[in-house]
A and B are shown apart, each in its own frame.
Chain A
Amino acid sequence: MQPSGTVLVVDDSPLICKTVCQVFEPSGYNVLAAMGGKEALQILADQGERVDVVITDVIMPAIDGVELLGKIHELYPDLPVILMTAYSNIDIVITAIKRRAFDLILKPVDATLLQQAVEKALKQRNLLHLEKNYLETLKQTVQAKTRELHLKMTELEEARTTQVVEHEELKILFHKVQDIKDEWERTMDCIGDMVLLVDPVGKIRRCNQALRLFVGKGYMEILGTEWKELFLNHSLTCGTTFTSGTELHHLPSGRWFIFTEYPFTDRTENKTRGTVITLHDTTELKITMDALGNAYKELQTSQAQVLHSEKMASIGQLAAGVAHEINNPIGFVSSNLGTLGKYLERLTGFMASQERIVEHAATPEARQELAALRRELKIDRIVPDLDKLISESLDGANRVRKIVKDLNSFSRVDQGNSEVADLVECLESAVTIVWNELKYKATLNRNYGNIPPLNCYPQQLNQVFMNLLVNAGHSIENQGLITITTWSDNGTANVSIADTGSGIAPEHLTRIFEPFFTTKEAGKGTGLGLSVSYDIIKKHHGDITVESTVGAGTTFTVRLPLENPELENGREEAREEMI
C-alpha cells in the first residue's frame, strides 16, 4: 500500500521516537527518526523531498529544535515542521511562529493531537504541493505561451524586415523611374523645338519647356488644353504645306515653324493613343532662304545685265570689225554722189545752153525729132528727179554711216577720255544740238536741282541726253511738254527727262533697250539710240530706267554714281597713252 507520507521524527529521546513510530506506522506512514538536529539535516539532505513532515523536539543537545526549524525553513521552505515541547514558554512559541513552525504540541504528546497535526501538516503540504504544482504548470504554460509569442514575434519581425527590404527596393526602383522620367523631361526641355503629346481628342497631356516658354504658361495650366485652341490663341497661322510638315507663322514675333504630327501608338495593343506634335523653328532657315532667294534673283538680274552688256560689247566688236569695210565703200559712194550732183549741175546747164542753141539753129524736122525723143525718154521727168535721186541716195548713205557710227560706240575701244563735268552743262549742250528738232513741238521745262560735278565721259552722256530728248520729241505728235529734272541723293546724280507724248506700250517696255528695236517707221530711227544710251550709262556704272503710260507720256531716269573710281583709272590710262 502506498504510504500516506514520510514523517521524520527528531528527538534525543529514543522513546519518543519509538512512540511516534508506533503512532504513525500503523496508519501507513513511513517514519524516519533522527536523534539530533544534525542527523535530521543529514537525513533531509539524503532523502530530499521524500520527507513530508518533520516532528522535532525543541530541547536537544547541539542543534535544538528551534534552530533546526530555522535551518529547515531556510533549506526547505515547504516542509512543515511540528515542534514538541515540554515547556510552554512564550519565547519559544514566538520564535516558533517567527520561524514558521507548523504546529506546536505540548509534551506529553497526545497521539491524536499529533496525528491531527501531522495530517493537517500533510494536507497543507499537499495543498502546497498542489499549489506549487499548479504554479509550476502555470509557469510552464506561461513560459510555453511566452515562447510561442516569442516565436510569433520573431516571425513577425522577420516578415516586417522582409517588408522593409521590399519597400526599400521599391523605393529605389521608384527613384530610378523618377530619375528616368526626370531625365527624359529635361531632355525634352533641352530641345528648342516645341514637343507636345496630345490624347486622341486633342487635349495636351505633356509638353516641353519650349512650348511653355512660347505660350508663357506653366505646365499645369497647359495640361488638358485643346492644342488647336492653344495655337489659335497664340496667333499661329497656317502657311504652305510641305512633305515634312505644315508651315506655321507667328505674326507677333515674325517666327516661322514647321508643324509635324507623329501617331503615338500603344506598344502592346498597337492602338493609337494620341499624337506627338513638334514645332520646329525655321525662322533662321527661312530668313537665310529668303536671303538666298533674293541673292539668286539679284544674280539672275545681274547675269541678265552681264549678258546684255556682253551682247552689246560683242556687237561693238563686230561693228568695229566691219566699220572699216563699210566705211570705205560708203566713203566713195557718198563722195561720188556728191560729185555726181556737181556733174549733173554742169550737165543740165550745158543741156540748157544746147537746147537754146538748137532752138535757134536746128531745122523744124530736127527739132520735132528731138522733142519726140525727149518725150519718149521722159527727159522732162528724169532731169528734175535727178536732184532728188541724188539727195535721197546721199541720205541713204548717211543713214548707213550713222548706223555704223552708233554701232561703233558699243565698242570698248572707242571710249574717249573721262573728265569731271557738270551734268547740267551736258544737258544744255544736248538741248542746243537738238533744239531745231524740238522747238516746233515742245515747250521745254527745266527743273535743275543741285548736282555736284562728277567724273564721266561728257561727250557720251551728251549723246545719251540727245537720244532721250530726240525720242521725247518724236513721241509728241502735236504740242507737248518736255521736263528735264536733275537732283542728287544717296551718292547718285539723277537726271529725268519726261515728256507728255504718246507713251510706250507695256509689251515694248522690256525691249526698248535692245539694239535695233524700234517702233518708229523705217528711216526715222536706227533702233540703236536707246541701246547705245543704255550701254553708255552702264559704262558709267549707272542705271537707266523708264516709266511710261500710254497716252500720258514717258519718263526716262538716269542715275549716275557721284564717285566713280574705275573711270578715274580709265582717265589715268588715257593720259598715259597721250604721253
Chain B
Amino acid sequence: MNHGILLVDDEPNVISALERALLDEPYTIYSAESGEKGLELLSRTKVKVIVSDERMPGMGGAEFLSRVKELHPPVVRIMLTGQASVESTMKAVNKGEIYRFLIKPWDDTELILSLRSAVEKYDMEEENRRLLRTVKRQSQEIKMLEKRFPGISAMHKDDSGTFVLPDISDDEVEKIIAECCEESQGEAEENAQK
C-alpha cells in the first residue's frame, strides 16, 4: 500500500534530514519548498499526511494548512515549527485543525510515531468513509427493491421462529440488483450534477 507524505519547508536541509529520519518507514515522500508549491503538488498527487513548517517566505504554514483543510479535507496535517510559542500553536490549531504540533528541533522517534498515527488516522477515516459509502449504497439498493417489490425487505418468520425467504429464483434476484445498480448510479449522477 502506498502512503504519500508531503514535507513542506523552505529549508532543504530540514527536508533531507526528515527524509533520512523516515528512511525505514514505508512512505513515499514528496517535498515542496513553499506552501504554493505544496498546493500545486497536492492537486496532482495523492498524499495522506502533510508535515509543514510554520515560518516560510510567501504563504505561511498556518495559512497553507488551512487551505489544505479547505481543498483536501481528508489529508492529515502536522505542523513542525521552530517558533515554540503558545500563541502560534493555538492559532494553527484553531485555523488549520492541526493533528499534531511538533517543535524544532524535533525528536526523530516522536516524529516517526506521530506520522504513523497520522497515517493510521487517515486510513481509518478513509475506511470509515468507504464503509459509509457502502452502507449508503446498500440502503439505496434496499430502497429500490422495496419500491419495485413492496414487502421484499420485510422479514417473515414462521411459527417455529425461522426466517421465511420469499419465493424468488437466484436469476431473478441478480437481475433485480443489476437494475437497482443502474438506477442508483443514475440517481448519484443526478445528485452530482446538482
Contact = CB atoms under 8 A, between A and B. Distances in A.
Interface of A: 320, 323-336, 338-339, 342, 397, 401, 405, 408, 411, 413-416, 577-578
B98 to A, nearest CB: 15
Contacts of B111: 335
Contact of A338 (B11, B80, B108): B108
B153 interface: no
Interface string B78-111: 0011111111001000000000000111101001
A414 B86 contact: yes
A330 B105 contact: yes
B21 A405 contact: no
Contacts of A408: 84-85
A331 B104 contact: yes
Interface stretch (B12-20, B37-45, B118-126, B160-168): B12-20
B23 interface: yes
Interface string B142-183: 000000000000000000000000000000000000000000
Given A336-B17, A336-B20, A339-B21, A330 B104 contact: yes
A397 B107 CA distance: 12
A331 B82 contact: yes
B55 interface: yes
A327 B23 contact: no
Given A324-B55, A324-B82, A328-B11, A335 B106 contact: yes
A480 to B, nearest CB: 34
Interface of B: 11, 13-14, 16-18, 20-21, 23-24, 55, 80-87, 90, 103-106, 108, 111
A333 B82 CA distance: 14
Dominant secondary structure of chain A at its interface with chain B: helix
B82 A328 contact: yes
A323 B17 contact: no
Contacts of B11: 328, 332
B158 to A, nearest CB: 61
A20 B105 CA distance: 193
Contacts, number: 77
Given A331-B80, A333-B105, 17 more contacts: A320-B83, A320-B85, A324-B82, A324-B104, A326-B82, A327-B82, A327-B84, A328-B82, A330-B104, A330-B105, A334-B105, A335-B18, A339-B108, A342-B23, A342-B24, A413-B85, A577-B87
A415 B90 CA distance: 13
Contacts of A411: 85
Given A324-B55, A328-B14, A335 B105 contact: yes
A408 B81 CA distance: 14
28 contacts: A323-B83, A324-B104, A327-B82, A327-B83, A327-B104, A330-B105, A331-B104, A332-B16, A332-B17, A333-B17, A335-B21, A335-B108, A335-B111, A336-B17, A338-B21, A338-B108, A339-B17, A339-B20, A339-B21, A339-B23, A397-B105, A401-B105, A405-B84, A413-B85, A413-B87, A414-B85, A416-B86, A578-B90
B159 to A, nearest CB: 63
A332 B14 contact: yes
Contacts of B14: 328, 331-332
Contacts of A331: 14, 17, 80, 82, 104-106
A331 B83 CA distance: 12
A25 B16 CA distance: 202
Contacts of B55: 324
A329 B108 contact: no
Contacts of B84: 323, 327, 405, 408, 414
Nearest to B83: A324
Contacts of B85: 320, 408, 411, 413-414
